[in-house]
Structure 1
Amino acid sequence: MFKILNPILHNQLRLAIVSLLISVEEAEFKYLKEKTAASSGNLSVQISKLKDIGYIAVEKTFRDNFPLTTCRITDTGKQAFLEYVEALETYINKADK
């Protein structure tokens, strides 16, 4: 039986953000923008969605009088990612049989 894929993580950009944060745990907005090649506006919207559901934490500070946004994966986000990968494996394993 196929497991339901988490609709929040099934979005390509949100999945990319969470995947990056899983590997580094914390990253600045600029880093995420460079790695995902997303526009600032789209990245900002997707970060907000992930923050609102509790998958990431966002800290807004200043560095040298410039805004600095830092994102960090939460335990909830880590768990959701692991469950998403597990659900995706049910699709891959069915294709192998």
Structure 2
Amino acid sequence: MFKDLDPVLHSQVRLAIMSVLISVESAEFAFLLESTKATKGNLSFQLTKLKAAGYVDITKTNKGNYPLTICKITSVGIKAYTKYVDAIEDYFKVFRQQ
């Protein structure tokens, strides 16, 4: 009856990251930090999980003398996010029918 939920996306911070990245071409680490209200360590950890799943690409460069981390959602990430949102919507549909 219910579709399985992707365990990679079934995390508040990872879902928040993906929700931001789905709506932008790319995002700097600082922007994600502000948007998700996560700590630096937690955001870094969760981005590593998303990268390992192939859901995001992470590019590390420098901006002047400062490190710059840029994140971008991949096509695999877009598909996974869309599938996850569709599955959640199915949960709500079942609830509303009762």
TM-score bin (small chain): over 0.9
**Percent identity of paired positions between Structure 1 and Structure 2:** 53
Runs of 4+ in structure 1 over 3 Å off: none
Q: Deviations over 1:24-59 (max 9, x none)?
A: 131000000001111000000000000011000000
Q: Distance in 1 between matches of 2:68 and 2:24?
A: 17
How far apart are residue 94 of structure 1 and its match? 0.2
Give the TM-score, by structure 1 length. 0.98
Deviations 1:70-90 (A, max 9, x none): 000000000000000111111
**CA distance in 1 between partners of 2:88 and 2:50 (Å):** 20
Q: Partner amino acid for 1:6? A: D
**Structure 1 unaligned regions, length at least 5:** none
Q: CA RMSD in A?
A: 0.5
Where in structure 2 are there 5+ consecutive unaligned residues?
A: none
